[in-house]
Chain A
């Protein structure tokens, strides 16, 4: 009758497992830094000798100048960075068909000219602002919100397993390409000036 009790408890004492897991969790939270493998993508122009010079109409180019004091000049007007987005969007779309703005979104070029003394932070800020302006235009073209648009772009880069998702991706890619054809993003760096040191 005592036989039952004689059997030793053969289970592992899992009471401290939680502690270990917590320790692990805290350790990771403290030590890991999110890998910065993201950034602002830029395509450089080919080197000067290989370039074919195509004359662009003045109205199709949106000139941005940043001087060594990080001041902005957009189309010969002193502006703040925050204003840039609206100006560029108006320039690209040209809803009122003004004669000094671009003929069509497909022809619009944004040119950034920096100085040797321009701060990198400012340059990235401007680049980012332009990217945002274009993304917003494209999102509007597709009839979605900018957040949704970004989600879509991220989804396109994922590698998916199921056939349903793959088909969805292909469909989306088609739509995306169409939008990119209607509103291409043409941002170029002009040869920088050497004045401000």
Chain B
């Protein structure tokens, strides 16, 4: 008789586990997301190809972006090259490759791979300039990024 009050079940949803769930979410994001280290300043819609090769060791890969600048008032309409956060000329690519190599462990430096993310509207002229510069510094492994096309 003294317990009568208590027998009425509480109508509230127990929310004590909610913070745990939110934390789990947070950790999940922290673990899985990779921060984009450079903001794209050039247009970059990749071409399609069916026979693709996967980039294997991410630590050996450096990215070069090629495409028409988004900010045409500042950089003009011509196709430009972007590495990290800056737009550069093809002549500066050896310098960039050297810097990238310097960041890598000594044993792996010759295995450097360049991933070229080139806009599908780009012309081969610029790409040849890039590849010629890459040949200069012996960075010969190149991967032209492309999205999957089903045959």
Contact = CB atoms under 8 A, between A and B. Distances in A.
Interface of A: 2, 5-6, 8-9, 12-13, 15-16, 20, 24, 36-48, 66, 114-121, 123-125, 127-128, 131-132, 135, 150, 154, 157, 189, 192
B123 A38 contact: no
B74 interface: no
Q: Which of A20, A66, A128 has the most CB of B within 10 A?
A: A128
16 contacts: A37-B145, A38-B52, A39-B53, A40-B51, A41-B141, A45-B135, A46-B138, A47-B136, A118-B124, A119-B122, A120-B118, A120-B120, A120-B122, A123-B124, A124-B120, A124-B144
A52 B60 CA distance: 28
Contacts of A119: 120-124
Given A114-B128, A118-B124, A39 B146 contact: yes
A43 B140 contact: yes
Interface in B108-139: 115-125, 127-128, 131, 134-136, 138
When A and B form their complex, which 7 residue pairs have the shortest distance between CB atoms, in order from nearest? A116-B125, A131-B51, A41-B53, A128-B49, A38-B52, A39-B145, A118-B124
Q: Which of A15, A20, A40, A150 has the most CB of B within 10 A?
A: A40
A192 B135 CA distance: 14
